[in-house]
Structure 1
Amino acid sequence: MEARESSAQGGDEMASRDDAELPDGSQDNSSFETAGLQRSLSAIDRQYAAQPEQPRRIHILGTGSIGKLVAHSLRGIANPPPISLIFHRYRLLEAWEQSKKQITIQDDDFDVSRGGYDVELMSEVRRQHGVELENGQPSVYDFPDEVRPHEAAKLLAQQRKENAALQQQQLESGEQDTQFPPSRDERKRRPGKGDYAISHEPIHNLIVTTKAAYTVPALSAIKHRLGPTSTVCFLQNGMGVIDDVNKHLFPHEADRPNYVQGILTHGVNVPPELAERDPFFAVHAGHGTIALGLLPRSGIKQTTITGQDGAADTHHVQTELWAPSARYLLRTLTRTPVLCAVGFTPTELLQQQLEKLAVNSVLNPLTALLDARNGALLHNFALTRTMRLLLAETSLVIRSLPELAYLPNVPTRFSAARLETLVISVAHKTQDNVSSMLADVRAGRRTEIEYINGYIVRRGEEVGVKCVVNYGIMQTVVGKCMVTQREGQDAVPMVGVAGLNV
């Protein structure tokens, strides 16, 4: 692994401290009054108030096109923070060691390469049918034929729960069972080629750019490095990822990291002919923005105040201060010119997410099913009818969400007619582009359809709306992806045959 940056290169890995040591050597105790002082300040004053010492290193999980753009942009600012790239495969680590150890971004036919990154390898975590398997545990497919894989996963989960309860009872009673199986950390694992790059140091600032469907498996390998003082920034398509992360990885609110959500409109792609030759190259095809929003740990509580005239007025009150790591990550991203990141309130960010979700719920699945570029949806009345059926359901679900119940202009902003205008506008601007879902289907990869149309279906069930069109489109995309995967598995490899490289 590359050596950490020295203080001469990137400064100390701690952010500058405003409450310095006093001349007589004593410590300034004003930091103990920071919380009380910040509560008395306005929102703007709190944003620019002095912050305590904060680790500067930023980890990036996901080295796809978006991850490479973010890492490259952060290294280009003044006094850049130390950056660690987390690889999920040893093959990527090996390619990095054999390369120039730089990320190259092409912008307007100019190639800009930047280095100075640290790299880490994600430890191997097996996850099958929603259950994380420990080292030494059998696969869910190793059970007898009469036990189905999802049933075997439930048995393994129940067995782990019973073992944990038994171990807790033994600890409370002071007894020790020598026959009790060792935990995963105690169990010896086979040494691997990339063990030298596996780190177990705490992660304070994490940016996740993986596909939404792979977020939970990816975070499973590093969840022990995240804590309540850590901040995780999600730069992904779709919605509902944080719900899955909390459900599977951080069920207890006190143990959860802080969350930042982002909406990214930059256009970045990796040419297929260069993907194998240089996996650390990407093309910045379209400049956009990033909308960021910090999510309060305890959420936004709804408070009803009764006025003198007896009328009830409902307010949304933020009850928690932002974590220092969340504020630092937001400041770092917003001072990166190429990313054009802007911070928004959680409520405004939610509305922008829903707008992008509505657009993606039409463009992505239809282009994936038609195997066509975005412009194919224009000037086609048959597809316009399908689009309107989808948007009618989506509009009704969004306008029925309880999070938007007390906000003005929601019926107009999320009307089916306005959402159709947004879809047509985006399709016209990106008419020559291949959607990310179409690229995934062509490659036989798992798509994000369950976090786009699937999210609409789930929220529709909560508010009493049956989204049959969205559900049908979602299942069709899943089915087409499975067909592509099977065709790829049955294909005969043609690399290196008779001197050809097809």
Structure 2
Amino acid sequence: MSSRIYVLGAGSMGSLLAHELRQSAPEIANPTLLFKGEQRLRDFIAHESKITVIRQKGENIFKSESQLAAGWQPPMSREGIPSHIDNLIVATKTYLTEAALRPYIGNLSSNSNVLFLQNGMGVADDLRRKFWPSSINRPNFFQIISTHGAYKALPNVVHHVGLGKLSIGYIPKHRHSLQSDELKLDGNLKNSPKIIELLTESKNLNASYIKHNPLLLVQMEKLVVNACINPLSAVLDCLNGDLLYGNKTFELMKKVVQEAVDCFKAEYSFIKFDPQSSSFLDVGRLLNTVLDVCKLTASNSSSMREDVRHLNRTEIDWINGYIVKLGTRHRIPTPVNRLLISMVNNKLSIEQSIELSSTQIDKTK
């Protein structure tokens, strides 16, 4: 029996997950990639509807291919009624989530599982308020946190350059609290949806299903790493490893981390009563993690830097912006995170204006 899985967002990570699900369970999983528009779908079909994943292990290069179903509109029945989507992996940019998900709301129900594979924090809360203010018909939400490194050199080719891991956890329907009927989903693989089992069975994805609070801690750690590396590399226009050579970057990172930890402790009460959680969110430990990631990804260009270079909107509002949002809620100052948001937005607007000016000059020649 096939499992109805749709992947909204056919970027590098969305394509990688669809490919791995197809590879690891071809008789069960038949993922459908959902593209942004009809032209992108046509380009995909022109390449035989295949995704090629390339990995290098030592001196050896390995390639694998998957042929996938694809679409660009919500699935409908012959009668024109929205077909039910059992499982939806959302792998879009955070700021595109609301617009991308809106057409598919009619395909989702309380029996649907929606898995968010995205940077930043706070997306699920916003969608809950926007589309499902009542919990009656709200889908089951899950968060996927990835440390994998992947990029697309060509539209249908994914380079899986950093073999990391996936941490998957259930997001409570009621903010910060699991109800009695939800406890069975909290990190219990035996009671989890089939899609969770399929993801954890994929060797290349290295996925694990964990409880909500430990997942939050992993999410906070990744947010802190991104809040330091992404905006600084974007503003300074440098590779991740180059940040280690800056005379003042360490001090800036430390302030970003301290502001984030202060906000996390105010927002999530369980941290105060759990010594292990407090140790995990120790400022020194998190700062060392940021520096380690700079070293491990020294030759990488962060996604935020690439967005600015390509004149695209960044995810700053869901990364540093989330820290500022918590700071505002709990009256905790977050001046450095606010400064970085302003600098990234100004950097982007300057680059966009320069590009627009040069285009206008070219037209007058």
TM-score (norm 2): 0.89
Measured after TM superposition, the shift of residue 298 of structure 1 is 4.0
Counterpart Cα distance in 2 of 1:317 and 1:72:
35
Which residue does 1:252 correspond to in 2?
134
Measured after TM superposition, the shift of residue 122 of structure 1 is 2.7
Tell me which of the two structures has the higher relative contact order, counting C-alpha pairs closer than 8 angstroms and 6 or more residues apart.
Answer: 2
The 10-residue stretch of structure 1 (457-466 or 221-230) with the greater mean CA deviation from structure 2: 457-466
1:470 counterpart = 2:346: no
Cα pair 2:10 2:91 within 8 Å, conserved: yes
Which residue does 2:163 correspond to in 1?
287
Task: Give the AA of the match of 2:53.
Answer: I
Counterpart Cα distance in 2 of 1:58 and 1:429:
33
1:361 counterpart = 2:227: yes
Counterpart Cα distance in 2 of 1:479 and 1:281:
33
Measured after TM superposition, the shift of residue 199 of structure 1 is 8.4
Q: 1:105 aligns with which of 53, 74, 86?
A: 53
Task: Give the AA of the match of 1:459.
Answer: L
Cα pair 2:94 2:119 within 8 Å, conserved: yes
Counterpart Cα distance in 1 of 2:150 and 2:344:
23
Cα pair 1:121 1:199 within 8 Å, conserved: no
Unaligned 5+ runs, structure 1: 1-11, 14-55, 124-195, 302-315, 494-502
The CA deviation string for residues 300-359 of structure 1, in whole angstroms up to 9 with x for no partner, is 64xxxxxxxxxxxxxx87442439995212111111111111011001000111111111
The aligned runs of 1:12-411 (5 Å cut-off) are 12-13=1-2, 56-78=3-25, 79-108=27-56, 109-115=61-67, 117-122=68-73, 200-271=82-153, 274=154, 279-298=155-174, 301=177, 318-320=180-182, 321-322=184-185, 327-403=193-269, 404-411=271-278
Task: Give the AA of the match of 2:350.
Answer: V
Alpha carbons of structure 1 residues 213 and 205: separation in structure 2 relative to 1, 3 Å: same
SS class of match (1:361)? helix
Counterpart Cα distance in 2 of 1:456 and 1:470:
7
SS class of match (1:262)? strand
SS class of match (1:356)? helix
Counterpart Cα distance in 1 of 2:54 and 2:266:
43
Query: Identity of aligned pairs, percent?
Result: 32
Counterpart Cα distance in 2 of 1:461 and 1:318:
32
Task: Give the AA of the match of 1:87.
Answer: F
Alpha carbons of structure 1 residues 423 and 103: separation in structure 2 relative to 1, 3 Å: same
Unaligned 5+ runs, structure 2: 361-365
| Displaced runs of 4 or more, over 6 A | none
SS class of match (1:59)? strand
Measured after TM superposition, the shift of residue 462 of structure 1 is 1.9
Which residue does 1:170 correspond to in 2?
none
TM-score (norm 1): 0.65
The CA deviation string for residues 178-227 of structure 1, in whole angstroms up to 9 with x for no partner, is xxxxxxxxxxxxxxxxxx9x983111100011111111110011111111
Q: Which has the larger radius of gyration?
A: 1
Which residue does 1:30 correspond to in 2?
none
Between Structure 1 and Structure 2, the one with more helix by share is 2
Cα pair 1:289 1:339 within 8 Å, conserved: yes
Task: Give the AA of the match of 1:206.
Answer: L
Cα pair 2:167 2:207 within 8 Å, conserved: yes
Cα pair 1:294 1:326 within 8 Å, conserved: no
Measured after TM superposition, the shift of residue 469 of structure 1 is 1.1
Counterpart Cα distance in 2 of 1:298 and 1:453:
24
Measured after TM superposition, the shift of residue 361 of structure 1 is 0.5
Measured after TM superposition, the shift of residue 413 of structure 1 is 2.3
SS class of match (1:222)? helix
Measured after TM superposition, the shift of residue 456 of structure 1 is 0.4
Measured after TM superposition, the shift of residue 295 of structure 1 is 2.2
Measured after TM superposition, the shift of residue 243 of structure 1 is 1.2
Alpha carbons of structure 1 residues 101 and 491: separation in structure 2 relative to 1, 3 Å: farther
Task: Please tell me the root mean square deviation across aligned C-alpha atoms, in Å.
Answer: 2.4
SS class of match (1:228)? coil
Alpha carbons of structure 1 residues 249 and 489: separation in structure 2 relative to 1, 3 Å: farther
Task: Give the AA of the match of 2:70.
Answer: V
